Structure formats: structure tokens, C-alpha cells
Amino acid sequence: MTNHDGMPQVVIVSPYLRAANNGNWRTAERWRRYLAGVCHARIVSDWPDREAARDRVMIALHARRSAVAIEAWSAAHPGRGLAVALTGTDLYRDIHDDPQARRSLDLAQVLVTLQERAPLALPEEVRGKARVIYQSVPARAPLEKTRRHLRALAVGHLREEKSPDTLFAAARLLAGRPDLRIDHVGGVLEPSLAEAARATMAAAPHYRWLGGQPHEVTRRRIQRAHVLVHPSRMEGGAHVIIEAVVSGTPVLASRIDGNVGMLGDDYEGYFPWGDARALASLLLHCREDAGFLARLGDQCDLRAPRFAPATEAAALARVVTDLLKGS
């Protein structure tokens, strides 16, 4: 069916709505805006609802968390009109041990992934449904960076998947280098990791855990940093990497599929996941070799166009247009 303005209606199912103001909500709201010229898009956490009869396409964020809505859509519209966008926990955990998440893959006509290596994590029989849509953020100019020291910034809530222990250990290894400063933005999701962050501040005075920060404040910190450090164990496509790349801030990232799928195999700023000594060595290299840091910056500049809003909007519009044709 079409909406009152003659445009088809698309429903975006997100486990979290505006009040949460987290990555899921921001993706859903960004996609709603990007689809304005293609359809009337709305965001819900539960489906069906009183407007469900007008929906022609569903985009569900999360194979597991949106599984009930996905099942309901497939019962009402078997074999048509359904895209499921997959997160890191979907790809690298849930679809392998959760029957509902696995069934969501079978029911969908399109599986949206957020980086180019994500389809490799899918069962072979559904891999052909995958469509890569890189997330985006408007570009910003770098802010002035001090020459007195190297400012590294990590952004990620304190939870095991983000591997903050690697950052803590690297900070301790660099405790004797006052010209290497590490700031860490992230709220507490696992209290034991907050205790570890406080202990690291005591042992390594040039490491600062700043807790959760408003998004705008964090973006400005990214613009001022010399490097962004991203040591995660599991990622579907980290938004903070995009924010760094389009702000002219090079990235030091763990070599996991979620990060390599964003930055490419030939990017030079990787370290083995969990290897604090390798991370510390890279930070020292950035401080002591201006040419290396500049080369990382050039490599990020080359990758920035893939994270442009127009690129994401066009890819999303193609997915929805294809689904509308079959609905």
C-alpha cells in the first residue's frame, strides 16, 4: 500500500528508539531520513502495530533482537519485502548459536551488512543475499593537534567485546612516556572493567578514562586526536572508525574482520587482537615517525568517500527499491 502522499510505506524495526540515543537508534533515524525521497519510512520497536497494514517493506535491525517482528512480517508477507541488517553480535555470535537469529537469515530476502568482510561470516547458503552498505557521517576538518605529545583516543563503552583490557595493558606499558597520552571515552556496561580503568589511571598517569561523553564532545575529541585506537574483539562495522576517517584522524585497529572490512587488507594501522605490546609499539611508531603517521592519514583519506552520506543513501535506496519491486 501507499501512504497518504502517494509514496510507499516502509517500516524500520529497531530494538531501541529515540530515548536510547545509541547506535541502533541513530542508524534507524539516519536511514529514515535518507529514504525520504524514495518512500515514507517510519521507525518502530514492535511490529505489527496499527499502521502495519500500510507497510510494503520492512528493514529490521538485528537478526536476534528483531526476530519476533521478522517472523510476524514473514507470516504476513511470505517471501517478500524483508531486509535484515546485521550487527557484529549477529554475525560473529548470535547466528551461530541462536535458532531465532539463524531463522531470520532464512526469512529475509536481503541481508544488509556494514562492511565488506561481513558476508564471509554468513552460512554459505544465504551469503548470496548479502548487500554491503557502509554507514556514513558528514565529514569534518581536523582540529589543531598539539606537537607536545601524541594524543591517542579510544571510544567505546566498557564491555568485553570492545577489548578495553588491551588498551589498559598498552597504557601501562607506556607509563614512562609522558609524550604519549591516551584518553578513553566510554560508559560503564561491566563494572569490573570500570575498576580496571581506575586502576590503570593510578598506574599510568597519562591514561585518562573520561566516562561517557555527549556525542558532539566526542566528535571534537576525535578531530583533535592524532590517532583513534580501536582494539575490539567483535565488530559489525564500527561507527567510530568512520567518524575518525572522515575527520582526518588515522586509526589503529585490531586486525579482525569487522575492522579489516572497513579499512581494507592493505591498511597499515593494524595490530593483532589482544596484543597490547603491538599496540604500544604502534603508538610509539606514530609518535617517533611523522612519516608513518602521515601515511596512515593518507590511507584514511583515500577511504573516506566510501563513508560519505550520499554513498550510504544511494546504497540504501537501491535495496529498498529492489524490495518494493517484489512486494
164 assigned to some structural domain: yes
Q: How confident is the model at residue 1 (pLDDT cuts 50, 70, 90)?
A: low
pLDDT digits (tens, 9 = 90+) for 252-288: 999 999 999 999 999 999 999 999 999 999 999 999 9
Same domain assignment for residues 20 and 127: yes
| Mean pLDDT, rounded, of the chain | 94
For residue 4, is pLDDT > 70?
no
Tell me how many domains the chain contains: 2
Cell numbers found for residue 321: 527499491
Same domain assignment for residues 234 and 117: no
Are the CB atoms for 212 and 137 separated by under 8 Å?
A: no
133-187 per-position pLDDT tens digit: 999 999 999 888 999 999 999 999 999 999 999 999 999 999 999 999 999 999 9
Which contiguous run of DSSP H or E holds residue 15? none
Q: What is the CATH number of the domain that holds 235?
A: 3.40.50.2000
Q: Tell me: do 315 and 298 sit in the same domain.
A: no
Would you state the pLDDT for residue 5? 66
Q: What is the 3-state secondary structure (H, E, C) of 89-139?
A: HHHHHHHHHCHHHHHHHHHCCEEEECCCCHHHHCCHHHHHHEEECCCCCCC
234 and 314 together in one domain = no
272 domain residue, yes or no: yes
2 is a domain residue: no
What pLDDT score was predicted for residue 235? 87
Residue 142 lies in a domain: no
> Domain check: are 129 and 28 in the same one?
yes
Q: What is the pLDDT of residues 40-83, one digit of tens each?
A: 999 999 999 999 999 999 999 999 999 999 999 999 999 999 99
Structural domain includes residue 216: yes
Task: Tell me the pLDDT tens digit for each residue of 293-325.
Answer: 999 999 999 999 999 999 999 999 999 999 999
Q: Per-residue pLDDT for 236 more than 90?
A: no
Residue 267: give the domain boundaries. Answer: 150-306
Model pLDDT for residues 207-228, shown as the tens digit of each residue: 999 999 998 999 999 999 999 9
Clarify whether residues 114 and 157 are in a common domain: no
In this prediction, residue 195 carries a pLDDT of 97
Strands of 9-13's sheet, edge to edge? 40-44, 9-13, 55-61, 82-85, 110-113, 130-132
- Residues 287 and 243 placed together within one structural domain of the fold: yes
Question: Which H or E element spans position 21?
Answer: none
